[in-house]
Chains A and B, each alone.
Chain A
Amino acid sequence: MALLTDFDTLHQTYYPKVLKLCLGYTGDYAQAQDLAQETFVKVWQNLAKFKGESLVSTWLYRIAVNTCLNHLRTARHRPTDALQTHHSEQIAEETGELDQQINLLYKCISQLAETDRLIISLVLEDTPYTEIAQIAGISDGNLRVKIHRIKQQLTDIYHRYGRL
């Protein structure tokens, strides 16, 4: 029964973060919802195997990121205009200005390379670098340089839209 509570807690705590990660990756709200749902199905299926060797957040983000990347096996996703519509639908209370900024941010993220999208989504979520390195399976040093480049790229793209 404790396991059930754990899963429910994980689901409640991490669903918004996972959905944002999937949104950053796909640029499409409906697809992001599907991927978030698939992520939590896998979390449920693998929860018994979680040995506590890493933080539960690291473990869960690995599942989310791998689920997103596995999605590429059948199709290569490109930024879509659908994001504008779908994403707007799920914004609950933001002002019109913030809504526009969020949509634009997602549009910019979707122009990055696939793995870069996932890494930067984790950075935007304030995930510690050491944890991101553990999620990705790359060295801290390589990750730091990578993040620096992705940040630069993202702000450049955002600048091109004349928003900053």
Chain B
Amino acid sequence: MDDFENLKRVWQQQTIRPADFTSAELKKTNDGHQRKLERTQLMSAIALLLTPVGIIWIGFFSGITFQSSLTYGAVILIALIPAVQGIINLSTYNWLRRIDITAPIAEHLSQWQRYYAFRKRMIRFNGPIYFLLLNGAFALYFIEILGYFSWLGRVVVLIPYVAWMLYAYFVLGKRNLQKETERLEAIIGNLQTLQRQLDAPES
């Protein structure tokens, strides 16, 4: 291994310039891929958990009275569904927070693999279920509300709503779902490659 010792000598003779950033500057930085992911989950969780507050106020404290208990039920559902989604996003945020950058490589890679496998399951099932439940709740809400409208009014309210929802689900949603699935599969593939490199039994 004399050859390798020569390479080591070359490596150790390098002169590396000091960092062109100070430690004080570093402490102000709060960035990085993981932090961005965490922030996204936290912000969406906060928004989703605050949404029900407004909906409950409109439904029960704003002075608007509904004739049907079904409509009140719909209001509760419209408030409850985002709240549940907010809790799910909050648990995703906590999951991310638990990923330990100081863990041994093998363990750290496993943590990311588990997280991305979970994300893949989530976008496959969570998105569509959320969409269907929320629209189901709105359908119940519309039963009474649209009764106050003329036929023309109903058409004006319902057609854009249904058109937008169908477009959002079948065009935008499907496209994003496919893109996100491909991205996650690529990431999982990369992580598995690294894990295999590390775990490979050497002969």
Taking beta carbons and an 8 Å cutoff, which residues of A are in contact with B?
7-8, 11-12, 15-16, 19-20, 33, 36-38, 40-42, 44-46, 49-50, 59, 62-63, 65-67, 69-70, 72-74, 76, 90-94, 98, 101-102, 105, 113-116, 118, 123-126, 134-138, 142, 145-146, 148-149, 151, 154-155, 158-159, 164
Contact = CB atoms under 8 A, between A and B. Distances in A.
A128 to B, nearest CB: 14
A148 B4 CA distance: 10
A90 B17 contact: yes
Interface of B: 1, 3-4, 6-8, 10-21, 23, 26-27, 29-34, 101-109, 112, 187, 190-191, 193-194, 197-202
Nearest to A12: B18
B198 A136 contact: yes
B23 A137 contact: no
Contacts, number: 153
Contact of A76 (B10, B102, B190): B190
A114 B101 contact: no
A67 B8 CA distance: 24
A138 B32 CA distance: 27
Given A70-B34, A102-B14, A115-B198, A137 B103 contact: yes
A10 B11 CA distance: 21
A115 B202 CA distance: 14
Contacts of A46: 101-102
B105 A135 contact: yes
Nearest to B4: A151
A91 B197 contact: no
A68 to B, nearest CB: 10
Nearest to B15: A92
Contacts of B202: 142, 145-146, 148-149
A140 to B, nearest CB: 12
A142 B105 contact: no
A44 B27 CA distance: 7
Nearest to A49: B102
Nearest to B199: A138
15 contacts: A37-B21, A40-B19, A42-B101, A45-B30, A66-B108, A69-B105, A73-B112, A73-B190, A92-B17, A105-B10, A114-B197, A123-B8, A136-B105, A137-B105, A142-B201
A125 B10 CA distance: 11
B97 to A, nearest CB: 12
Contacts of B8: 123-124, 126
B23 A7 contact: yes
A66 B101 contact: yes
A8 B1 CA distance: 37
Contacts of B7: 105, 124, 154-155, 158
A38 B4 contact: no
Nearest to A8: B23
